[in-house]
């Protein structure tokens, strides 16, 4: 392929109450609020050198507007547009200036219907990695990955791998030999995006990187002391898949946020993807804790970029195993 996708880079989430969101993301989790206006809050982690990785946008109901990936250059954007058009996907350019602090973006749907956005340029800002005096809450570092529920994982996986150039680090296989879930990366850790079988297209969660395990534990303590105990949905625990230390939260609009720390380097082209058997009880969450039903059933709907309305959902093609070992 003649384009180079760098990494998962930002998401735009529609939220119903900016103040409630600010309290959760900034006061509790310690995101840096780069900027805000009446309709938006722009958030980033302490390590990030560009304007934001999360946009909270005031709306009447919570929906995912778009999942954004950074590409290497403007030239890659052009090549991606050609590619998607050739594949029969409609494309849409959002010109520089139409969105705050970001260059021109290309918007498309992937083959599962998820709304994507590609961009090469975002306004640089001061990186706060060594401003330890500003570290609070979770000591939020950077965006790490998207996790999505899609009806046909094998088809989506093939599209990202064969057409977009993602590599697979780990996957889950059913007893019939189907891929039930897959973890795919462009940057050199476990994933930029994962897909799992289920009613979709929906966003299951966005993962953010934390510096260490104790930051996740402290997040639990901070959230509990602020009255957010019920927002702690799952964890902390160790993932079998990815080996990361994890914690799943629900934000005030119900979006699921994963705090994630400590997976591994995936630089080597000869790294053999790790297969997990969906029926092997030893392959569940590494310590054996079950995920709650909400974690399995609930996910966020996405906006159709053409109609501006919620995308319709299709049931998962494979059996709905309760994926306690899925991350």
If DSSP codes are grouped into helix, strand and coil, which group holds residue 161?
Answer: helix
φ, ψ (nearest 5 deg) of residue 130? -105, 15
Contact 196, 151 (CB under 8 A): no
Question: Among residues 213, 277, 314, 317, which is the contact residue for a copy of itself, using CB under 8 A?
Answer: 213
Q: Return the residue of 1, 20, 82, 282 that touches a copy of itself, per CB under 8 A.
A: 282
Torsion over CA: 15, 296, 159, 182 (sign): positive
Among 214, 297, 315, 319, binds a copy of itself (CB under 8 A): 214
Q: What is the CA radius of gyration of the chain?
A: 18
Q: Is 75 in the site for a copy of itself (CB under 8 A)?
A: no
Number of residues binding to a copy of itself, judged by CB under 8 A: 60
Interface residue with a copy of itself among 38, 230, 293, 312 (CB under 8 A) is 230
Pick from 19, 38, 221, 293: which binds a copy of itself (CB under 8 A)?
221
Q: Which stretch binds a copy of itself (CB under 8 A): 94-102, 108-116, 168-176, 220-228?
A: 220-228
Please identify, using beta-carbon distances, which residue of 74 and 87 lies nearer to a copy of itself. Answer: 74
- The minimum distance between CB 30 and a copy of itself, in angstroms, equals 11
Q: Which CA distances in Å does 197 have to 50, 261, 317?
A: 33, 24, 7
* 9 or 148: CB nearest a copy of itself: 9
Maximal CA-CA distance, the chain: 53
**Helical residues (DSSP H) of the chain, grouped into ranges:** 18-22, 74-86, 153-158, 213-225, 293-297
Binding mask 140-169 for a copy of itself (x = CB under 8 A): -xx---------------------------
Nearest C-alpha neighbor of 44 from the set 120, 129, 121, 119: 129
DSSP-derived secondary structure letter, 23: I
Give the CB-side neighbour count of residue 268, counting CA atoms within 13 A.
6
Q: Which of 265, 279, 293, 307 is in the footprint of a copy of itself by CB under 8 A?
A: 265
- 171 φ/ψ angles, rounded to the nearest 5 degrees: -155, 160
Task: Render 249-317 in DSSP notation, one character per residue.
Answer: EE-TTS-EEEEEE-------TTPPPEEEETT-GGGSSTT-PPPPHHHHH--EEBB-TTTSSBPP-B--S
Q: From the CB of 302, what's the least distance to a copy of itself, in Å?
A: 25
79 touches a copy of itself (CB under 8 A): no
Cβ closer to a copy of itself: 58 or 218?
218
CA-based nearest residue to 144, from 88, 196, 87, 184: 184
**C-beta of 274: minimal distance to a copy of itself in Å?**
8
Choosing from 3, 245, 246, 260, the residue that interacts with a copy of itself (CB under 8 A) is: 245
Which span sits near a copy of itself by CB under 8 A: 52-60, 162-170, 198-206, 265-273?
265-273
Residues 101-140 that bind a copy of itself (CB under 8 A): 121, 124, 129-133, 135-136
Please pick, from the candidates 57, 243, 254, 313, the single residue that binds a copy of itself as defined by CB under 8 A.
243
Q: What percent of the chain is helix, strand and coil (3-state, nearest 5)?
A: 20, 35, 45
Local structure of 79: helix, strand or coil: helix
Write each residue from 3 to 42 as x if it is in contact with a copy of itself (CB under 8 A), else as -, in one continuous string.
Answer: ---xx-------------------xx--------------
List residues near a copy of itself by CB under 8 A: 6-7, 27-28, 47, 49-50, 70, 72-73, 121, 124, 129-133, 135-136, 141-142, 187-188, 211-214, 217-218, 220-227, 229-230, 232, 236-238, 240, 243, 245, 262, 264-265, 267-272, 282, 286-289
């Amino acid at each position: 392929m003649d384009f180079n996708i760098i990494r998962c880079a930002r998401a735009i989430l529609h939220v119903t109450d900016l103040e409630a969101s600010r309290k959760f993301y900034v006061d509790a989790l310690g995101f840096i609020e780069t900027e805000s206006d009446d309709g938006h809050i722009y958030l980033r982690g302490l390590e990030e050198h560009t304007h934001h990785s999360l946009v909270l946008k005031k709306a009447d109901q919570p929906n995912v507007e778009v999942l954004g990936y950074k590409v290497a250059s403007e030239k890659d954007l052009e090549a991606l547009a050609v590619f998607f058009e050739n594949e029969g996907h409609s494309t849409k350019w959002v010109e520089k200036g139409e969105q705050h602090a970001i260059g021109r973006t290309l918007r498309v749907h992937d083959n599962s219907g998820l709304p994507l956005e590609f961009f090469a340029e975002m306004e640089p800002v001061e990186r706060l990695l060594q401003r330890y005096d500003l570290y609070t809450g979770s000591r939020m570092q950077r965006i790490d990955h998207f996790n999505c529920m899609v009806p046909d994982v094998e088809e989506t996986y093939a599209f990202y791998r064969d057409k977009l150039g993602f590599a697979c680090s780990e996957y889950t296989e059913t007893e019939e030999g189907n891929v039930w879930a897959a973890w795919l990366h462009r940057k050199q850790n476990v994933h930029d995006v994962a897909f799992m079988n289920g009613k979709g297209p929906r966003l299951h969660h966005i993962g953010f990187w934390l510096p260490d395990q104790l930051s996740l534990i402290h997040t639990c303590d901070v959230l509990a002391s602020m009255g957010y105990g019920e927002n702690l949905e799952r964890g902390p625990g160790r993932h079998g898949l990815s080996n990361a230390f994890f914690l799943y939260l629900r934000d005030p609009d119900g979006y699921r946020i994963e705090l994630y720390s400590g997976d591994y380097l995936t630089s080597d082209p000869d790294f053999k993807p790790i297969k997990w058997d969906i029926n092997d009880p030893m392959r569940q969450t590494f310590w054996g804790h079950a995920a709650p039903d909400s974690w399995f059933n609930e996910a966020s709907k996405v906006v159709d970029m053409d109609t501006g309305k919620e995308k319709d959902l299709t049931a998962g093609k494979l059996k709905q195993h309760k994926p306690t070992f899925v991350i």
